[in-house]
Chains A and B, each alone.
Chain A
Amino acid sequence: QLQLQESGPGLVKPSETLSLTCTVSGGSVRSSSYYWGWIRQPPGKGLQWIGSIFYSGTTYYTPSLESRVTISVDTSKNQFSLQLRSVTAADTSIYYCARQGIRYTPDYWGQGTLVTVSS
């Protein structure tokens, strides 16, 4: 059974970099059938796709965050990661990692991790 688990600091200071890692078990990030993505949800609000990565390193980002986001993959550790630079309070959200299948549809999700941006 595929499982994804987010990890990283729950508190980040304004202007610093948010860094999260998603560890995949029960499947491989090397699969040629899937992208691996990050999605966030501000408390009490809706979902926003952040970006996605293929095992080869090909990435896609949402335009509003593209200048601040980097998603990378480590196939040796079966992990992929998110970096969001120059964060503000508006970046406070639950961050989910997910496997993305047909036309990038997220089909398996991690449990999510709350990241608060505050000094």
Chain B
Amino acid sequence: QSALAQPASVSGSPGQSITISCTGTSSDFYTYNYVSWYQQHPGKAPKLLIFEVTNRPSGVSNRFSGSKSGDTASLTISGLQAEDEADYYCSSYTSGITLYVFGTGTKVTVL
């Protein structure tokens, strides 16, 4: 099972909105809504931002939102802040021989 494809980098100015894409190739991506998103600051463990495509865990800012259409899931960060500068990873359950896969990662830069 290949990793999910993400753009290497995305940037935006404070206050803007940015969207990070995550493209899957397996039929599971179409079939299931088990895409998650993580934020990782340097030297820190990943933090769960979104699960099951659109759901936010308690305590996660509503500036983060998720969606999915066909083979592409997306994470949108609204009202971009300096603290949002980090790496972001999508991930998904698969019913294939690899139970769980991560995306290639996207570095978000706040200009």
Shortest distance between the CB of B82 and any CB in chain A (Å) = 22
Among A49, A96, A111, the most chain B Cβ lie within 10 Å of the Cβ of A49
Nearest B residue to A101 via CB reads: B51
Nearest B residue to A66 via CB reads: B97
Q: B65 in the interface, Cβ–Cβ < 8 Å?
A: no
Binary interface encoding of chain A residues 91-119 relative to chain B, with 1 for a CB under 8 A from any of its CBs, else 0? 00000100011111111011110000000
| Bound Cα distance A62, B2 (Å) | 11
Binary interface encoding of chain B residues 31-62 relative to chain A, with 1 for a CB under 8 A from any of its CBs, else 0? 01010101000001111100110000100000
Question: CB < 8 Å: which of A37, A47, A105, A110 contacts B51?
Answer: A105
Instruction: Count how many chain B residues have C-beta atoms less than 8 Å from C-beta atoms of the other chain.
Output: 26
| Bound Cα distance A24, B59 (Å) | 22
Cβ contacts A to B, 21 pairs, < 8 Å: A37-B100, A46-B89, A47-B46, A47-B91, A49-B100, A49-B102, A62-B98, A96-B45, A102-B34, A102-B52, A103-B34, A103-B93, A105-B34, A105-B52, A105-B91, A106-B36, A107-B51, A109-B46, A109-B47, A111-B45, A112-B45
